[in-house]
Amino acid sequence: ETFRLVAIRLRVDMALSNSLMRVLVALASFGAAAAAGDTFSSADDTLLVGHLVPTASQDPRLDSNGWALVMHGVAEKLFTLNADGEIVPEVAQSAGKVSEFEWDIDLKPDYKFSDGTPVTAQDVANCLNELHTMNDNTQSSLGDIEATVPCDGTVRIKSTKATPIMDAVLADYVFVVYKKVGTDFVYTGPYKITEFVANDHVDLVPNTYYPQHTERRPIKMTKYENGAALAADAANLDIAFKVPVDTLDTLRNTTGVNVRSFGVSQTYMMFYNMAKTAPSPVADLKVRQAIDLAIDREDAMDLLKGGHGTRSLFPQNTPYYQDNLGSSLAKATEAGALLDDAGWTLDSSNKRTKDGQELTIELCAYEFRPDLGLMQPEIKSNLEALGITVNDRMTTDGTYLNATGGLYADDWVELTDRVAAGDFDILMWSQNVLATGDPAAFLNNFFHTDGGSTKYNGGFSSTNVDVKLDALNVAEGHTARVAATAEAHAAILAEQPVSHLVTPYWHYSLSDRMVTEGYTAYGADYYIIHAEMFLTTVPVPAPVAHRGCLSTDGAGATNAFAAGAAALLAAVFLH
């Protein structure tokens, strides 16, 4: 119930701001479909999708591969986020709290993997335990976990961190459901992989053991080198996701290409490397605060042709937004004063120096998020105006070499290697901050000492922030979680391990026949391919009372019957 209240509130807040956009998209879709009259000719007609996100491996245990597999419609989680921002069951049926650190997860009956074998509680327990040992991101909200099978169809999760919102925690991409068959991985999603070429393309066919599989069509997802290349080929694609803002005017004037825009919970930010081996100037709080003040977020927003310049860690259309963080305009005078206080003063050539050394920053970004590259020169200009020397670095620009002294073929591999080596001062980053509908996942992952992604901010660790996040993790009820988020939010920004820049609008293009199909994107890029695509009717599952395990002495059966009866009475009352 705790998370349901949070989800409803978040859903309402986000829906109010997105409802007009949805109406306009629907009207545009209707008009274009009526004009084009274009449809898929047969069940074998392949949907062509172009994207920029690297897909390096089918192994869900490593890094963020789970996210890519979910995005492709191949993998699923126990719970997921729907288009309305609500947590809904996916492979699971329900979640029930057993004790402070234990939850029982009932699985949907008769659910199958794409090879036709049933999804058992033991399968799910095995994959959760293996994910825990191989991916640190599983520990951000739950700490250490142990999954067991107390009875058929139920998985019990015991964690060292308590949570009142287990369904939201399990909606994170890292908790994908899979089983291993030899060296291969088998999943449960609406599609299965027939051909996989790392960092090039993935061929998909409908999973014949998934409901309504006959309504789906084959898909070919191709990775493009950069946004310009993707946009240039948009007329030959059914979905081009996502296209750079500087290509929108051309695309809107291209026959058969239909541009769509939507607000996302993705936020563009900068992480400061405070633990660089050769100490970085950003290890000094005053330097980080000066850089944060020097950035003109309104100019960055203008470059992106939309969005919201912000210092808040969360978007404006959510209850977690903080509107008391000052102007999004640059404050160069205040920034300069902070640098003076830190001992970085202007010399005769208007360069900031200290003890004979110039204040030099390496500002890094990565190519498969083109918006970061658009903002990078503006941020460099803001900092240079203060007298800071800025070396801007973009992945695959030839300035960073691999272990053999050669150029990287893939920008994500280059980025992860650079991060692992700590070879950056500031890392520009894009992150879905509400991927599970609740702020705890993002905050724990990037700012808690136990977080799986603190490598991006130089291993940031703060006792004060940990205390605030621990309080958020156990807060129950919408009001309490909003208040606890605000406390953690303030504690994080007081130490400035990150500067948030813009909450953007994202853009993608559709072919006429995808307009006819009524396709809309949601969840940033977490669900480009999703189960509702191509369906003539989308089933709405009826609420199911949590079953749990029935005890042999009859008490469990009595409790289960009482719970079911209460659910039935509640449904009748609501009706």
* Phi, psi of 263, rounded to the nearest 5 degrees: -75, 145
3 state SS of 40: coil
CB contact at 8 A, 87 and 437: yes
pLDDT of residue 49: 97
To 10 degrees, what angle do helices 463-474 and 478-495 make? 170
Give the architecture (CATH level 2) of 2-262+506-517.
Answer: 3-Layer(aba) Sandwich (3.40)
3 state SS of 197: strand
CB burial string 92-107: b at 16+ within 10 A, e below: bbbbbbeeebbbbbbb
CA distances from 81 to 15, 77, 85, 168 (A): 14, 10, 6, 8
Encoded tokens for 341: 């206080």
Which residue type is seen at 261?
A: S
pLDDT, averaged in runs of 10, over the chain (575 residues): 38 41 42 48 87 86 92 96 92 96 96 98 97 92 96 97 96 96 96 93 97 95 93 97 94 96 93 89 96 96 92 94 90 96 96 96 93 96 97 91 86 89 94 94 94 85 96 96 97 96 95 94 91 88 79 38 43 42
pLDDT of residue 250: 96
Q: Determine the Cα–Cα distance for residues 554 and 331; give it in Å rounded to an integer.
A: 69
3 state SS of 205: strand
Burial class of residue 538 (count of CB atoms within 10 Å of its CB; 0-12, 13-18, 19+): exposed
Number of Cβ atoms within 10 Å of the Cβ of 553: 8
Q: Determine the Cα–Cα distance for residues 543 and 419; give it in Å rounded to an integer.
A: 44
DSSP class of residue 53?
A: -
pLDDT of residue 51: 94
Q: Determine the Cα–Cα distance for residues 457 and 479; give it in Å rounded to an integer.
A: 30
Q: Determine the Cα–Cα distance for residues 244 and 256; give it in Å rounded to an integer.
A: 18
pLDDT of residue 12: 36
Radius of gyration of the chain measured on its C-alpha atoms = 24
CB contact at 8 A, 431 and 269: yes
Q: Determine the Cα–Cα distance for residues 304 and 264; give it in Å rounded to an integer.
A: 14
- The domain made up of 266-503 has a fold known as Dipeptide-binding Protein; domain 3 (3.10.105)
pLDDT of residue 22: 42
Q: Determine the Cα–Cα distance for residues 545 and 149; give it in Å rounded to an integer.
A: 19
Cα of 539 vs its chain's centroid, Å: 26
DSSP class of residue 222?
A: E
pLDDT of residue 19: 43
Q: Provide the sign of the torsion angle of the four alpha carbons 473, 7, 369, 290, taken in this order.
A: negative
CB contact at 8 A, 335 and 291: yes
To 10 degrees, what angle do helices 2-36 and 478-495 make? 90
DSSP class of residue 117?
A: -
CB contact at 8 A, 490 and 210: no
